[in-house]
Structure formats: C-alpha cells, structure tokens
Amino acid sequence: DLAKYDLSSLEGGIMAGSPCPAELVNKVVSLMGIKGLTIGYGTTENSPVTFLASPMDNMERKCETVGYIMEHLEAKIVDPTTGEVLPLGMKGEIMVRGYCVMLEYWGDPCKTSECITKDGWYKTGDIGSMDAYSYLKIDGRSKDMIIRGGENVYPAEIEQFLHTHPKVKEAQVVGVEDVRMGEEVCACIKLVDGQESSPEEIKAFCKGQISHFKIPRYVLFVTDYPVTVTGKIQKHKLREEAEKQLGLKRK
C-alpha cells in the first residue's frame, strides 16, 4: 500500500531482473511519482548490467526495450544455431563482450567454454533484437522458447499482452508437452486480489489480438510462482508443476 508513504522526495529508480510489462512501468511511475525511472538488463556473469535506459528516454522506449548498450561494451545478435550475426531488428541470441564479462565459472572449465567463446563473447542464452540505436528488446530465454507445431513462440510476448487484461496481476507462460503439436502454450496467471476469471475469458481476450498459435491452450490460475533465492521465476519448475496439474508427462 504505497498511499501511506511519503514519496515526494523520490527522484529515480531502477526496474530490472525480468521483462517489465508496459502496464507495470506506467503504474510504478504513476503511484510512486518517479521522475527518472530507468530499465536495466544483464546477467550475474556480466557483473551484472550491460544495457541501461536513460532517465530521459520516453516511456515508449522504457516499456518496449531494456535500454542501450553501455559504454566500452560490445553486443551482437546471432542465430542460435549457426552463430551468424543477424541484421538489426531480427530476433536471435544476445551475446556480450567487454570488461564486464566474468573470467570463468570457478572449477568448471566445461561450462565456461560453453558460455564464453575463445574471442571473449559471452552467450547470454536470452533471445532479443537490437535497433539502429543499440536499444535492446528482450523476447525471453532461448531455453524457454516454445516450439508449437514448428512455430517459434516467445513467452515474453504473450506475457506482455496478458498483462493488459484488467484482472491479471501477473502472467507467466510456459510450454507444456503435447503429443500432436510437440508443445502447447500454457499461461499461469495470478489474478488481481478479489477478481475472478476463467480460462474461457482469458482465451476470448486473446482471440483476434494475438496470432492464433500464441493463444494459450491451457490457462491455470496460481497464487505464486517457484523462484530462485534472488527472486527470479524458475520457468522449468513452473513448467513441471503445470504439466503435473494438467496430467501431462514430458518425455
């Protein structure tokens, strides 16, 4: 309950850790009166920020991107399969190089060589795209990508859309086992306190607004998500819990 706090002296703040839906960014600015909100992106292995928005950026940039590459660092978007550098605007794996990249995983040279190339590029495992001004848009983790009937589905895109539903407090999307399609889209939704909804209502909200193959086949309503000690949502555990609840079994 922010109303009981005097936040009039608050000048700025940072949002990071996972993609921030536009509705959440606007709500934070409105309720807290933050004048200089910035959005950041990085990984623990990158010390940990590599992209950062300017407090002067407009709200559209803050809602749609995680900022631009920081000084003295390099970034590129590559095809996850071939390693080929992709043109601006195309989705691929985000790679970073520079002073921020860790030396190694302690005592684990195999894992280190999997993540850091011989010429110093760190493979983040995240999928995204960059524009001509080096602003980065995150589409999700490569390992979280859902392959439904040959179509690549990025959970973050669906999550962002679901956050526009007035009854949705938080949404996480995972791929669950499906015999015919390989994987199906499952939305795990936290509702706003005091609200009620149904899978049919959520699906009807999506119809005609996002591509048909991105509409969740399954909608589960949850009270919490499995998280790491740092508060990040564990998608693999969430997927396992969803499949168990749905009576599905991943091979």
Mean pLDDT, range 103-117, rounded to an integer: 96
Q: Among 90, 108, 140, which residue terminates a domain?
A: 140
Mean pLDDT, range 92-98, rounded to an integer: 96
Domain containing 213 equals 145-246
For residue 38, what are the β-bridge partners? 14
Q: Indicate which CATH number applies to the domain containing 92.
A: 2.30.38.10
251, part of any domain: no
Q: Among 110, 140, 170, which residue terminates a domain?
A: 140
Same domain, 50 and 68: yes
For 184-207, b/e burial (b = at least 16 CB within 10 A) is: bbbbbbebeeeeebeeeebeebbe
**pLDDT higher than 80, residue 249:** no
For residue 112, what are the β-bridge partners? none
Name the residue among 46, 70, 18, 234 with its Cα closest to residue 124. 46
Same domain, 185 and 136: no
Percentage above 70 pLDDT, the chain: 98
131, part of any domain: yes
- The confidence score (pLDDT) of residue 98 equals 97
DSSP H or E stretch at residue 170: strand 168-178
Total domains in the chain come to 2
**pLDDT higher than 70, residue 250:** no
Mean pLDDT, range 181-203, rounded to an integer: 97
Same domain, 85 and 134: yes
Q: Indicate which CATH number applies to the domain containing 226.
A: 3.30.300.30
**Banded model confidence at residue 20, pLDDT cuts 50, 70, 90:** confident
- The confidence score (pLDDT) of residue 143 equals 84
How far apart are alpha carbons 250 and 245 in whole angstroms? 13
Same domain, 227 and 175: yes
Residues near 172 by Cβ (< 8 Å), separated by ≥ 6?
A: 155, 159, 187, 188, 189, 225, 233, 235, 238
Same domain, 17 and 67: yes
